[in-house]
Structure 1
Amino acid sequence: MPPPYLTAPTSSDPRPALSLFAQAPSFLSSQTSSWWSSLPYPLSLFLNTESQEKWASYENLFLACLRTGDHETAYACLESLTDRFGKTNDHVLALQGLYQEATAQNTEELEEVMKAYDEVLKDDPTIFSVRKRRAALLRSVGKSAEAIADLTVLVDASPTDAEAWAELADLHLSQGNCEQAFYCLEEVLLVMPHAWNMHARLGEVVYMSAQKMDGGDQMKALAESMRRFCRSIELCDGYLRGYYGLRLTTGRLLEVLQGAKKGQLTASDSLAGDLAPPSIGTVKKLNELATSKLAEIVRRGTAGEKGWDGYSEAELKAARELIDSDTQKIQR
Structure 2
Amino acid sequence: MNKNLQILKNKPNNWKAARGLLREYRKKQQRNSYEIMKYGLPLINKNSKRLSKEELFEVMEQVFLAGLDVSLEESNSLLLKLQKQFPKSLRVTKLSGLFEEAMGHWKNAQIIYQSILKDNPSDQIAQKRLVCISKAQGNTKLTIQNLNKYLSHFQGDTEAWEELLDLYLSQQCYSKALFCCEELILAEPDNYQHHYQIANIYYTIGKRSDLIKARQYYAHSIKLLEEQNLKSFYGLYLTTNKLKTLFSRNLNQSETQINEQLLQFAKDKIKKFYLQKEDNNTKTTVLELLEIDN
Q: Would you say same fold, with TM above 0.5? A: yes
Q: Does the alignment pair 1:157 with 2:143? A: no
| TM-aligned CA distance change 1:178 to 1:90, over 3 Å | farther
- 1:170 corresponds in structure 2 to 166
Any unmatched runs of 5+ in structure 2? 3-23
- 2:267 corresponds in structure 1 to 284
Q: CA deviation at 1:213?
A: 1.4
Task: Identify the structure with bigger relative contact order (alpha carbons < 8 Å, sequence gap 6+).
Answer: 1
Q: CA deviation at 1:127?
A: 1.2
TM-score of the pair, normalised by structure 2: 0.63
2:79/2:96 contact within 8 Å kept: no
Q: CA deviation at 1:282?
A: 2.4
In 2, Cα distance between equivalents of 1:324 and 1:77: 64
In 2, Cα distance between equivalents of 1:123 and 1:47: 25
Q: CA deviation at 1:138?
A: 2.3
Aligned residue identity for 2:270 = N
- 1:113 corresponds in structure 2 to 109
- 1:101 corresponds in structure 2 to 101
Query: Which has more radius of gyration?
Result: 2
Alignment map for 1:125-144 (pairs within 5 Å): 125-144=121-140
TM-score of the pair, normalised by structure 1: 0.57
Any unmatched runs of 5+ in structure 1? 10-19, 300-321
1:206/1:224 contact within 8 Å kept: yes
Give the paired residue count: 265
In 2, Cα distance between equivalents of 1:138 and 1:254: 41
Aligned residue identity for 1:70 = V
- 2:33 corresponds in structure 1 to 24
- Once the two structures are superposed, residues 228-262 of structure 1 have per-residue CA deviations (whole angstroms, 9 ceiling, x without a partner) of 3553x46xx76xxxx353243134135236538xx
In 2, Cα distance between equivalents of 1:94 and 1:100: 10
Alignment map for 1:260-279 (pairs within 5 Å): 264-267=248-251, 271=255, 277=259, 279=262
| TM-aligned CA distance change 1:55 to 1:111, over 3 Å | closer
| TM-aligned CA distance change 1:144 to 1:88, over 3 Å | farther
| TM-aligned CA distance change 1:88 to 1:164, over 3 Å | farther
Q: Greater helix share, 1 or 2?
A: 2
- 2:47 corresponds in structure 1 to 38
Q: CA deviation at 1:130?
A: 0.8
In 2, Cα distance between equivalents of 1:228 and 1:91: 42
- 2:235 corresponds in structure 1 to 249
2:275/2:283 contact within 8 Å kept: no
- Name the SS for the 1:252 alignment partner: helix
- Name the SS for the 1:126 alignment partner: coil
The match for 1:224 among 188, 204, 217 is 217
- Name the SS for the 2:206 alignment partner: coil
Q: CA deviation at 1:279?
A: 2.5
The match for 1:147 among 143, 146, 163 is 143
2:76/2:99 contact within 8 Å kept: no
2:94/2:112 contact within 8 Å kept: no
| Identity of matched residues, % | 16
- 1:206 corresponds in structure 2 to 199
- Once the two structures are superposed, residues 262-311 of structure 1 have per-residue CA deviations (whole angstroms, 9 ceiling, x without a partner) of x8332359749xxx555233222443466579x69xx9xxxxxxxxxxxx
| TM-aligned CA distance change 1:166 to 1:249, over 3 Å | same
| TM-aligned CA distance change 1:46 to 1:288, over 3 Å | farther
In 2, Cα distance between equivalents of 1:100 and 1:183: 35
